[in-house]
Amino acid sequence: MAELLILVESNTTGSGRLFAERARDLGLVPHLVTADPSRYPYAAELDLPVHGCDTGSPPAVLACCRGLAQAHQVAGVTSSSEYFIATAAAVARALDVPGEEPERLAAARSKGVQRERFAAAGVASPGFQVVTSVPAAVAAAERLGAPVVVKPVSRSGSIGVRRCDDLRTVATHAAELLATRTDERGLPLPAAVLVESYLPGPEFSVELLAGEVRTVVAKHVDESRGFLEVGHDVPAAVDPGTAALLAESARAASAALGLGWGAAHVELRMTNGRAVVVELNPRLAGGMIPQAIRVATGQDLIAELVARSAGRVPPRNAVRTGYASVRFLLPAADGVVRTLPDPASALTLPGVVDAVVTARPGQRIVRLGSFLDRLGYVIAQGRSPAEAGARADRAVAALPVAID
């Protein structure tokens, strides 16, 4: 009897599809549990069994998965989406299949809880305060000193994250966040926001799996509206000392939250010679970083995590030394998408290994400074970080999206 890997929702593009494909590579049969099958065109393309369920309700997800377990042998339950990893882990625990401690994942998803545990463990992170009102947000900003960052306590992809240089901006943005009751998945949001000190300096991420540092990633961030990641370089072109500082801080952050079974995507900034943790996401990185890691180093973190989730021995490809860069297609203005380029035009360029346009004709563009602004991506490889980055930049330039 074939063994199932149950996916509780997923990312709508990129790694969501790859989780299903890697499951099949391991001889598993992926099944998708979702509240809205229309979010996932890849499910039809892969002929994936889909089960409708109120995934905002953990008891409903458990009931659905128990039903599948009565008819099939379930090897694992997981999710590529940060919004559902704690639910998937709780179901995995109930079905006695591998997974991270669900309580630890739930705690890690709260940026306020993260900050408290980092402070208790001595992990360098920004000064902060969790607040539930606009006056409290303003008071926190006064105490911390401008500029500050005001953000939701539980969303991802830089949604709602803003640098605020004065108290009026703090009040306006905090009011907007507190008035937002549900996230983009329709899940309820806590009535709280996080106010934290702004960290100057270059931004990086450290990618861990099973407690092991796999690579350090350099991030290119546009702060003009929010904190939009416009590109990534793998591995980061930093000296060994800086790489060691970043890795040490990332491991300390993961340990402070009690994580170590699955993946962790730790975001940091180098400030005054210190590696300061911005936040930890208890999942694989998004933004095509796992794909770029595979191109640069040969490590397939998605395949490894899928195998761990199903109790299989994770495949470990031979690690090689290479470089890869991700760059995103971004709109130059708000408006409506008129015409789209053919990604094939970028794939003919030297070093380009992947090019995808996700925008749709007629799509309305309102730039928010989050990952939702992206209209596509390219991945390029090179013999050096500079060559990989230059190739990715040329590929993006070859894919103009016309916007009225």
Domains in the chain, CATH or no CATH each: 3-106 (3.40.50.20), 127-197 (3.30.1490.20), 325-404 (3.90.1170.50)
Question: Which one-letter DSSP state was computed for residue 38?
Answer: G
Strand-pair partners of 74: 4
Label residue 186 exposed, middle or buried (CB < 10 Å: 0-12, 13-18, 19+): exposed
Among 243, 203, 208, CA closest to 227 = 203
Q: What are phi and psi of 161, to 5 degrees?
A: -90, 125
Given this model, what pLDDT does residue 187 score? 73
Q: Which residues of the chain have pLDDT under 70?
A: 1, 155-157, 185
Q: At what angle do helices 289-297 and 15-25 cross, to 10 degrees?
A: 50
Given this model, what pLDDT does residue 80 score? 92
Given this model, what pLDDT does residue 235 score? 97
Which three-class secondary structure string do you get for 67-124? HHHHHCEEEEEECCCHHHHHHHHHHHHHCCCCCCCHHHHHHHCCHHHHHHHHHHHCCC
Given this model, what pLDDT does residue 69 score? 95
Among 319, 325, 262, 238, CA closest to 288 = 325
| Residue appearing with tokens 């009011």 | 175
pLDDT in tens, 374-398: 999 999 999 999 999 999 999 999 9
Given this model, what pLDDT does residue 190 score? 81
Tokens matching residue 88? 């998937």
Given this model, what pLDDT does residue 1 score? 65
Among 147, 152, 327, CA closest to 223 = 147
